[in-house]
Amino acid sequence: MAEVQRTLLLVKPDGVQRQLVGRVIARFEERGLKIVGLKLVHVDRALAETHYAAHSEKPFFKGLVDFITSSPLVAAALEGPNAIAIVRAMNGATRPHEAAPGSIRGDFAVETAQNLVHASDSPESAAAELALWFAPSELLSYEREIDRWVLAPAE
């Protein structure tokens, strides 16, 4: 079995406003990933600026912060084998016009500035982003009966 990972998924304000949260989250559950944390958050500027700190010197930084703080979003912690790569692939390319049909952005997004979802891009960013968005007590560990039908047995 591949390495079990945890990763962050954000359904951004446009996804909440367009009432796509359930459809987006359902895709990851249907794929077999486990939700280990989930919450609706109205992000303040400090959290937004910390989350997007890597882009702080870029001209689009203010727009990112303004957008992510404009309305509530849903933060989810997802777990499963290769979760980071799976979530990013399911989200699709950052630019919706480059996103494959069947991906979230390929099916629902039109503009890069409002591309519905965010996902961690590496194990390091997943750990940092999960710590930013969730307290340790908000991330759960539990067994699912379906895992024997989704995951390969441990060797």
Domains and CATH numbers, the chain: 4-140 (3.30.70.141)
User: What are the tokens at 47?
Assistant: 């959290």
Active-site annotation, residues: 118
Q: pTM, whole model, 2 decimals?
A: 0.94
**The pLDDT of residue 155:** 65
**3-state DSSP of 43-106:** CCHHHHHHHCHHHCCCCCHHHHHHHHCCCCEEEEEEEEECHHHHHHHHHCCCCHHHCCECEHHH
For the stretch 62-99, pLDDT in tens is 999 999 999 999 999 999 999 999 999 999 999 999 99
User: What are the tokens at 83?
Assistant: 């979760």
Spatial distance between the Cα atoms of 57 and 50, rounded to a whole number of angstroms: 13
